[in-house]
Amino acid sequence: MPQPQNRSAPPSLAHVLRLRRQAIATHPRRYMAALLLCLLALLAVDAALEWPYALARLQAIAVLDRVADDPVPRSLAWVVSEPVHRTDFLLALPSGTLRARLYSPVDHPHAPGVVIVHGVHYLGIDEPRIIEFASAMASCGLQVLTPELPDIKDYHVGPNSIAAIGESAIWLNHATGNRPVGVMGISFSGSLSLLAATEPQYRPAIRFVAAVGSEDNMARVANYYLTGREPRPDGAVEVLPPHEYGALVLEYENLQDFVPAADLAAVRLALRNHLYEDRPAERAVMRKLTPRQLAEVRQLMDTSSPLTRRMIAASNARHQAQMAAVSPEGRMPKLSTPVYLLSGRADNIIPSAETQWLERQIPRQEIKMALISPVISHIDVGSQRPTFRDQWRLVRFFALILHAAEN
């Protein structure tokens, strides 16, 4: 017996599509207008949901332009237009008093905060790239603290700086209404910032850590300065001629291993002026050296000499424990803070393989982004001619940091 017909059954898909085609053919303009309205509505909803990320990307583009000393396009100037007030002061911390500078957005006195820690450089917080970067970040609506670390400024990478970084984060945390703050460490300071975030007394004050051009194992980097070879986690070996700066820093930090005690002060002054790029002062000191001291200085400055390299290798062997104390390797599994890692692909001061080692050490759930970019060298932006994709990935990296800092 035939089944009774179900009068409420829905029309077939083919029937619906046939009616739709007929409607479009009859009223094409009305249909296109309705479609356009739907698309605009979807775009508006998408923009509203994604706006914080979109704004952070625009800010990242403008910040990178400023750091690279490129003009910010007029269409983007408004995203970094917040007026900024700079305050220099002495920062009293439990571990000691530091010189510091606070960059505050004038219209947002209670804005969230970021600590930017300078790298190994004699200018410290007065280094032009640090000033421009901190100013640009503050103009996005962030309070930026740049503490000056005496050891790092004088080319000494030691554990005392770990406490200074952690205590600076606590200070800014209190200054921003007990809101955790981001910490961005440059070069060797990035590794020290990661170590600070593992300490229970500092961890609550730190929202995230961004390490730019930083190492996982100091002894491995020290060996790279002698060999120009850096192993990667996958077993490959990166071959890249090291910058002489690295070997000079090793000599300067442990100068007692290289010259007699009687010559320490004079030779240290000559090396310091060389590292500080103060050529007139360097020449003036060199003229006052004894023949033996002059020979010692010249030997140390010849970092490619086999004798100099043997002396550096012997010194490195004596200071393995000190290097381990400032190396994240083996201490990252207890890290419970979001991390952003950035390195330059052609970095010849701290090879990019160190970022790969760090990525392997840090708990996977805490790695928010790790990027090895051809756009930067060590910490300089704009040294290469990258593809649009390379540029966009770098923009995305800084956009994620800005968004994390602002929210």
CB atoms closer than 10 angstroms to residue 298: 14
Residue 326 CA to its chain's centroid (Å): 17
For range 313-319, the mean pLDDT = 97
Q: What is the Cα–Cα distance from 10 to 230, expressed in whole angstroms? A: 68
Q: What is the pLDDT of residue 9?
A: 44
Q: Is the pLDDT of residue 18 over 60?
A: no
Across 23-27, 146-150, 232-236, least confident range: 23-27
For range 208-235, the mean pLDDT = 96
Q: What is the pLDDT of residue 375?
A: 84
Across 43-52, 142-151, 203-212, 327-336, least confident range: 43-52
pLDDT-based confidence at residue 147 (cuts at 50, 70, 90): very high
Q: What is the pLDDT of residue 79?
A: 85
Mean pLDDT of the chain: 88
pLDDT-based confidence at residue 23 (cuts at 50, 70, 90): low
CATH class of 66-220+330-406: alpha beta
Q: What is the pLDDT of residue 388?
A: 80
Q: Is the pLDDT of residue 178 over 70?
A: yes
What's the pLDDT tens digit per position in 388-400? 888 888 989 999 9
Q: What is the pLDDT of residue 372?
A: 94
Q: Which amino acid, residue 5?
A: Q
For range 226-231, the mean pLDDT = 95
pLDDT higher for 90 or 17?
90
pLDDT-based confidence at residue 17 (cuts at 50, 70, 90): very low
Q: pTM of this prediction?
A: 0.85
Q: What is the pLDDT of residue 52?
A: 57
Q: Is the pLDDT of residue 44 over 70?
A: no
What's the pLDDT tens digit per position in 76-104? 888 888 999 999 999 999 999 999 999 99
What's the pLDDT tens digit per position in 127-141? 999 999 999 999 999
Q: What is the pLDDT of residue 377?
A: 72
Domain spans in the chain, listed from the N-terminal domain onward: 66-220+330-406, 255-318
